[in-house]
Structure 1
């Protein structure tokens, strides 16, 4: 049997059927239209440059669909089904139809089905009436009931799709009809799906909810915001939703990286140009300036129902440009916005908000495994390290993909070393992507506030943080709100505690670590080993604004056990800018008169003395915490502290 396909000069026919992706798969009843309408349609498609597959076999076959046809359907971007009077008489054609619709259902984002009603009424196809009724009467006598039921369902489904009818669209003129079909195929192929990574673990329920919103029949112009921290999968969700739905709209546009593009020279004009090109199916329009672009965009969106996705919107003015045009959108149009900026959620015209959550432990392990092992679970010898790495990622898809891919094919020794390194130094690729939110903060005030919280205050009551950092000349309440708006911190409901994703905290601490190779030259020292060395060597500098030391967390291989090591008060003498100090199980010898006179917060757990020395400098303290200490009395001078915590002290 001869298989006739549009020739590809670079590829043999056998290789084409194996590797090439066809633009069009033609399904038709050969005896009805092979030498007439379908042949003319095929020739027109090929002349228009579409790589088209048709089966040119004249003989009705009784066996199942051959592998070449199965591959052709699988590797075609569109299927054109020519319904003629005797199309449903062919069991072969009906089986082919079922396969085409199965292909469409499996990859709704990637396969277009265009029914062409040549000399049959769509309602007859939908209900299997008229000439189709006789054919089905014969099928029911010779075929299993389940198979006949599947054929009926397929015909009803395909008749409900947007199709083309010869009498309705060209008054019976076949040449005009064929030109229209070729144009429709061209328009559909010009709107291609977006590339999305495989193995979208944990995305189904997220995508399903947004699909329901998109497919809900309404004449309202809806605006949905997908919100969450960097790397959590906002863009991936938006792309998947777009791929599943863009063809049900008359026009569509996915504008990626709005923040980045808008910062480029003439960036807004670039965005407008891309939007117009997408909605107008590739038509290029010259735009001189933003004002002219707005007029042309308004004209385009007012004439057809469109799906618009604005990815990574960062500022209200970018959103305002869309909201101002909301009344100009054609009824039923939908707008999806992805952002890390929570303030956009409060825009009064936003109709839906979807906050993206991190993956569960099970989902995280599966996603990590796909990237690390090419399967949905870890190799047995790697289970322990996989679970530790997954814990490190905290359910963040970006981190799971980056770490999994970086360890693909690595030995156990490599995995062990990588895990040890991660405990000391975060992965640079992950940090660089997470840092976008930090860099987008509006000023140094919010950046410094973020670094203080990342290094010292994660998990603390918000009210306490406000008291401490307000005393350090921060505007803490508005600053924390700005951090919340940028997905850098969250406030745990009911507890009013400030929380931060472990990788975000790691990003903040890495920013501080990169200030200098020498810990004593950094602005904040939170690593207990570094703090211990600084205080032992007495080489602290005025650069240090905050320091934390828990002697129980220090190395014990020094000549004197660090847990018993007594440090000296003059180790702090050069730290003139030190305002935040957290000590635990620390003993200090010496005079306190010059000890950290600029401190605003001192948390000294298990303070070793039974009373606070009279020369202890408390004049600038805002919060003094000495829980679990042996204090028996305090002197009157401590009244200058606004807030004091002495839980579990034995006062009398």
Structure 2
């Protein structure tokens, strides 16, 4: 005889409602008796679910709650929400996963009409009744206020979506739970959602396992693929979406094919990954997009105050813009040390966004061959605000003419560097070349001249980075340096003296490590009252530094390997780190 289920109850009128609720729960429990195995084996999922179960407080059945899940695109918010629904659906009278919410608040309807339409679609899905029509905005409360429901609102990107679908917890019955996933933390705050789970990146070990699950259908690499798998995991920046897409594309491929994919990953983003990441970028306004692109190219891992100083005379509200980028999970802020951090794949997406711009609109030049042509033919334009030139991506010598930058009057950020040490590209600079006068960032590795041009004016510079150059001297006399905050001259092995820095009253960091021809630091350094870090390690000819460096701001000093130094200067008691060894 087949399995049967019997319900017995006393027909007592006063207990009728209670009994019916119990019967409903029992039936729902039986219907959902077979647990889902859809999410078995997902790496790291159980830890996420434990955090969510704690926030959901399922034992509290006296009231409804709204809980948020936030994090960057591709981190796994939707997967966590779907797994929650699968695991908890048997505990609720109704459960519904509402997806495709992004962009649902853009239409030709007025605001009232939009809310009405959203509620119709929402109730149709929750109650499983196609084509529902409602006549007023109280319909959600009317239909659901006595029901214990589990609702997932996925990929919310507009506060009005929440106001239309879950404006108050009283719209739903006691014990109900509404889970909202979003990339924008500000939306959760604006809606008063205080219980929020921010999804973090997997550990490097978990990330490797995610890749292997898709590439090898097991939790570890095949023999001979260990190092390749680790490298691909690193190139994906531990982002679950990237690991899944790239891992799937590598399934069954040979080692040389893995190597080809790795070379491509260094410069090109997979279309499926780009489509997901690009959505958040496209939702930014024009100024926020400009800030995002500049961070991606020039200011990743830079201090936020430094970035604000870079744009101080422009139209960008950097402080507000950074807050928006953080809230939308496009950047994060590290605090030790404090710096802006953008994910590797978001940087790739930003570069591709720049590449797709119309050439005449492009503010940032990144293509090495285009840059060579612009610098050699003096064909730049006023629209250009930044140049990021990786010289290791070209094979021929580069010739920078005298007036290469003349037409780029708004150029503020110039970065010339090489990412590959196996290339030896020669950069020729005209000895009378004019730098742009409004430069705020000058980053030029291996600058080829003995001196900067006599017309060089650093009055707008915020950061000067000329490491590993051929310079013997920077400039003569005192220059206007009122904006300079950071100066990096590491391994300027021919540099014989530092310039007069007495006007660099905002200078916070000065590094001259490995300047092996440097004999003396100018006394003006002892008067830089905002200097926080001074690095002069491995300056093996350095003999004289100011005897008094009693600067209240100075926290870190490195004199390691200054073997000819005659005397250690007097330091402030505020200093936190002092490295000294091998001195005379």
**3-state secondary structure, aligned to 1:548:** strand
Aligned with residue 591 of structure 1, among 423, 432, 436: 432
Q: Which moved more, 1:506-515 or 1:367-376?
A: 367-376
1:539 offset after TM fit, Å?
4.6
Residues 445-491 of structure 1: CA distance to partner in whole angstroms, max 9, x if unpaired?
10111111111111111111111023333111111111111111111
Q: 1:361 to 1:624 in 2, by over 3 A?
A: closer
Aligned with residue 250 of structure 2, among 389, 404, 407: 407
Q: 1:319 to 1:603 in 2, by over 3 A?
A: same
- For 2:400, the equivalent position in structure 1 comes to 567
- For 2:132, the equivalent position in structure 1 comes to 285
Gap regions ≥5 residues in structure 1: 1-29, 31-53, 55-80, 83-115, 119-164, 172-176
Q: Which moved more, 1:610-619 or 1:391-400?
A: 610-619
Whether the 8 Å CA contact 1:190–1:281 is kept in 2: the answer is no
Query: 2:120 & 2:282 partners in 1: Cα distance?
Result: 28
1:203 aligns with 2:45: yes
**3-state secondary structure, aligned to 1:643:** coil
Aligned with residue 545 of structure 1, among 385, 388, 393: 385
Q: 1:276 to 1:195 in 2, by over 3 A?
A: farther
Q: TM-score, normalised by structure 1?
A: 0.64
- For 1:579, the equivalent position in structure 2 comes to 412
Q: 1:478 to 1:188 in 2, by over 3 A?
A: farther
- For 1:638, the equivalent position in structure 2 comes to 479
1:603 aligns with 2:436: no
1:430 aligns with 2:273: yes
Q: 1:483 to 1:298 in 2, by over 3 A?
A: same
**3-state secondary structure, aligned to 1:470:** coil
Query: 1:430 & 1:483 partners in 2: Cα distance?
Result: 19
- For 2:119, the equivalent position in structure 1 comes to 272
Aligned with residue 458 of structure 1, among 289, 295, 300: 300
Query: 1:273 & 1:321 partners in 2: Cα distance?
Result: 10
Q: 1:626 to 1:587 in 2, by over 3 A?
A: farther
1:323 offset after TM fit, Å?
5.5
Whether the 8 Å CA contact 2:122–2:165 is kept in 1: the answer is no
Whether the 8 Å CA contact 1:223–1:334 is kept in 2: the answer is yes
Query: For residues 229-248 of structure 1, what are the structure 2 equivalents within 5 Å?
Result: 229-248=72-91
Q: 1:305 to 1:554 in 2, by over 3 A?
A: closer
Q: 1:377 to 1:468 in 2, by over 3 A?
A: same
Q: 1:437 to 1:345 in 2, by over 3 A?
A: same
Q: Which moved more, 1:569-578 or 1:383-392?
A: 569-578
Query: 2:106 & 2:29 partners in 1: Cα distance?
Result: 32
Residues 527-557 of structure 1: CA distance to partner in whole angstroms, max 9, x if unpaired?
5566456434655444432112355x355x5
Query: 1:568 & 1:297 partners in 2: Cα distance?
Result: 69
**3-state secondary structure, aligned to 1:571:** coil
Query: For residues 57-456 of structure 1, what are the structure 2 equivalents within 5 Å?
Result: 81-82=3-4, 116=5, 118=6, 165-168=7-10, 199-214=41-56, 216-218=58-60, 219-263=62-106, 268-280=115-127, 282=129, 285-288=132-135, 292=136, 294-322=137-165, 324-347=167-190, 349-441=192-284, 443-456=285-298
- For 1:615, the equivalent position in structure 2 comes to 455
Give me the CA root mean square deviation.
Answer: 3.6
In the comparison of the two structures, how many residue pairs are matched? 472
- For 1:501, the equivalent position in structure 2 comes to 343
**3-state secondary structure, aligned to 1:312:** coil
Query: For residues 474-553 of structure 1, what are the structure 2 equivalents within 5 Å?
Result: 474-515=316-357, 522-526=362-366, 531-532=371-372, 534-536=374-376, 538-549=378-389, 551=391, 553=392
**3-state secondary structure, aligned to 1:638:** coil
Gap regions ≥5 residues in structure 2: 14-18, 419-426, 490-494, 499-521, 523-584
Q: Which moved more, 1:430-439 or 1:338-347?
A: 338-347
